[in-house]
Amino acid sequence: MKVAFLGLGVMGYPMAGHLQMAGHDVTVYNRNPAKAANWKEEYGGDTAPTPAQAAKGQEIVFCCVGRDSDLREVTLGPNGAFDAMAKGALFVDHTTASAIIARELAGEAQKRGFDFVDAPVSGGQAGAVNGKLGIMCGGSEAAYAKAEPVMAPYTKLAKRLGPAGSGQLTKMANQICIAGIMQGMAEAFSLARAAGLDIEAVVEVISKGAAQSWQMENRYKTMNAGEYDHGFAVEWMRKDLNIALDEARTQAVSLPMTALVDQFYAEVENLGGKRWDTSSLFVRQETARKGNKS
């Protein structure tokens, strides 16, 4: 299948690679053309200097960029993909963005005669590299049915949750859960360390019971070692949590834990941790504990 991929960040770069290795004819676009050239050297395929040129003549255009503003730029901006897409084509957006822009772009796509699926992912960089991402989708049943088999090379599980915007709403729920789990682990490990317990031994026991989680399994060792360069960055988690908080205000839903953890992540940023991974809540927790003792 002829496809394009817009955005070669830590997620998009390996995802586009999986599509090429699966036998699809992939054209990539990246804001930094040097990275697109590196991708082409590694995987083959082709590159394009603009989103429009990447999207022209493609059956499916995939996208994974940073924020709503980035997404609007590569779709509706000058040289945006939407102006070049053919009728009957499909745009699949893997960006974690707002449900508002997902619905906006779905409406624009419908006016122009092609389909749109919002399909944010979960599983982090490791999931993208290993082809084990969870993908939560919004859009029509027909559009999702077209997207699902093509996404398969980098998918552990994909599911349609409802109309456009449903994927983004589900990703908000996902990020809220992660934030709460990470803060719980930070507090638990801080208490264990203060009491003189061996965190490795503590986790060995509690991870065999109800406290077990993906975050515990994959992050406790690096948290204990004070290493925070192993996953999703704090600045991006704050972006996602604020999308959720904005949506909650629209829905008149109270998210007190989410708001509190977002404040804690702001403290991590003030400690120099803007690019640390999300498990760095432990740094804030330990800094507070040591400050209370002094």
Show which of 144, 162, 180 is a domain's final residue: 162
Cα 199 from Cα 129, distance rounded (Å) = 29
The mean pLDDT value for 217-244 works out to 95
Q: Which amino acid is at 75?
A: T
Calculate mean pLDDT across residues 155-181. 98
On whether both 149 and 280 belong to a single domain, the answer is: no
- What pLDDT does residue 291 have? 87
Mean pLDDT score of the chain: 97
Residue 292 confidence (pLDDT): 81
Final residue in a domain of this structure, among 162, 194, 211: 162
CA distance linking residue 174 with residue 276, whole number of Å? 20
CATH number at residue 206: 1.10.1040.10
Whole-angstrom distance, CA of residue 187 vs CA of residue 194: 11
> Do 180 and 289 have their domain in common?
yes
Question: Which pLDDT band, with edges at 50, 70 and 90, does 16 fall under?
Answer: very high
DSSP states of 45-78 = -EE-SSHHHHHTT-SEEEE--SSHHHHHHHHHST
* pLDDT, tens only, 29-72: 999 999 999 999 999 999 999 999 999 999 999 999 999 999 99
* pTM for this entry: 0.94
Q: Which residues pair with 199 in a beta bridge?
A: none
Please indicate, yes or no, whether residues 149 and 29 belong to a single structural domain of this protein: yes
Q: Are residues 124 and 174 in the same domain?
A: no
Q: How far apart are CA 91 and CA 85, in angstroms?
A: 9
Helix, strand, coil percentages in the chain from 3-state DSSP, rounded to 5: 60, 15, 30
Note whether 90 and 135 are same-domain residues.
yes
Tell whether 180 and 217 lie within a shared domain: yes
Listed in sequence order, the residues at least 6 apart from 234 whose beta carbon sits closer than 8 Å to its beta carbon are: 265, 268, 269, 273, 274, 275, 276, 277, 278, 280
In this structure, are 93 and 132 located in the same domain? yes
Report the catalytic residues.
171
Question: Can you give the CATH number for the domain in which 151 is found?
Answer: 3.40.50.720
The span from the CA of 279 to the CA of 231, in Å, is 9
Is residue 188 located within the same domain as residue 153? no
**Last residue of some domain: 110, 138, 162?**
162
Whether 294 shows a pLDDT value over 90: the answer reads no
Evaluate if residue 293 carries a pLDDT over 80: no
Given a cut of 80, whether residue 213 has pLDDT beyond it is yes
pLDDT, average across residues 97-120: 98
Same domain, yes or no, for 179 and 152?
Answer: no
Could you tell me if 151 and 252 lie in one domain?
Answer: no
Please state, in angstroms and as integers, the Cα–Cα distance from residue 249 to each residue in 240, 259, 266, following that order: 15, 12, 20
Provide the pLDDT for residue 231: 77
Question: Quick one: 54 and 140 in the same domain?
Answer: yes
Report which DSSP code applies to 250. H
Asked if residue 210 and residue 146 are part of one domain, the reply reads no
Structural domain count of the chain: 2
Domain hosting residue 273, numbered range: 170-293
pLDDT given for residue 182 in this prediction: 98
Q: Percent of the chain, pLDDT > 90?
A: 96
